Amino acid sequence: MMQSTATSDHISSSEAATLERFIHVYQALRKDNLDTLDTIYSHDVVFEDPAHRIEGYDNLARYFDTMYTNVTDCRFEIHDHAVNGDIAFISWTMTLSHPKLEGGAERAVKGCTKLGLKEGRVVMHRDFFDLGEMLYEALPVLGSAVKMIKKRLGQ
């Protein structure tokens, strides 16, 4: 269940509306509507996750196009979100299936996102999630090693 956006007196309705639009786009995002990303990101957006740093919307659009071309399915479920001034946070679960990972079985990865908002657009997007859980644990041989290391670390 999605929680309400946290608000305070110094948060404008513009930031809250930008966050709500972002959530709507991501919850509906599929291979056939990647062009909706253009409605939320600024042209000079900086996107970071554990494996990438991408600068500029054109580069980000190419990244998403490649990613969604290679996966069988990828979707996001948003759980909680909050906005404070021009910064927003979102917790989510990404469910994806890729033909080369565990025979195409669905994988659910929990994560969170920090967004920088400006003039109704996302100017900074930083995802935090366990890359090992998403990718390495699904690979033959390497997956067993990563799981063993995590077990030894008490995870």
pLDDT digits (tens, 9 = 90+) for 32-74: 999 999 999 999 999 999 889 999 999 999 999 998 988 888 9
Give the architecture-level CATH label for domain 13-130.
Answer: Roll (3.10)
CB atoms within 10 A of CB 39: 12
């100017």: which residue's tokens?
123
Q: 48 - beta bridge partners?
A: 53, 126
Alpha-carbon distance of 49 to 114, in angstroms, equals 10
Tell me the two tokens of residue 78: 């948003």
- SS3 at position 128: strand
pLDDT in tens, 119-147: 999 999 999 988 665 554 555 555 555 55
Sign of CA dihedral 16, 43, 93, 52: negative
Domain extent listing, the chain = 13-130
